[in-house]
Copies of this chain bind each other. A is one copy, B any other.
Amino acid sequence: MTEDEKYMHEALHEASLAASMDEVPVGAVVVHGSRIIARAHNLAETLTDATAHAEMQAITSAANFTGGKYLPGCTLYVTVEPCPMCAGACFWAQVGRVVYGASDPKHGYSLIPQNLLHPKTKVTRGVLAAECGKLMSDFFRKKRTS
């Protein structure tokens, strides 16, 4: 297992916690060095807040941990491609690297031709994409049939 896969497994664990709360299953962790400094999952329903995406909370939590509002030395692992809001949050926080699993063909930031991330942010996509995507498709299939 690669380092990226190891941390994506942690993000997947967060996503599964979201699923167990009937939240759209997206999870995230922020890693600095070899340490996980923030963990979060989508809480839009629980908090009655449409902006409570996993990434938003993970970024806020990581900045709280480091004591600085910029995160150039950090990697954000997230199970699903960030939306424009979350990509914009990564821009402002100057997140050093973003690693995501499944692409989001409806709301992914990469649907916008302009780069919404910070120009210095490195991106790796498709890490454990199948597992990350399966959590989402299982969730929405269950929603449609329930």
Contact = CB atoms under 8 A, between A and B. Distances in A.
A129 interface: no
Interface stretch (A10-18, A32-40, A46-54, A97-105): A46-54
A82 to B, nearest CB: 10
A138 B86 CA distance: 30
Interface string A108-139: 00011110100000000000000000000000
Contacts of A88: 83-88
Interface of A: 44-45, 48-53, 56, 59-60, 63-64, 67-70, 83-89, 91-94, 111-114, 116
Contacts of A67: 48
A124 B83 CA distance: 24
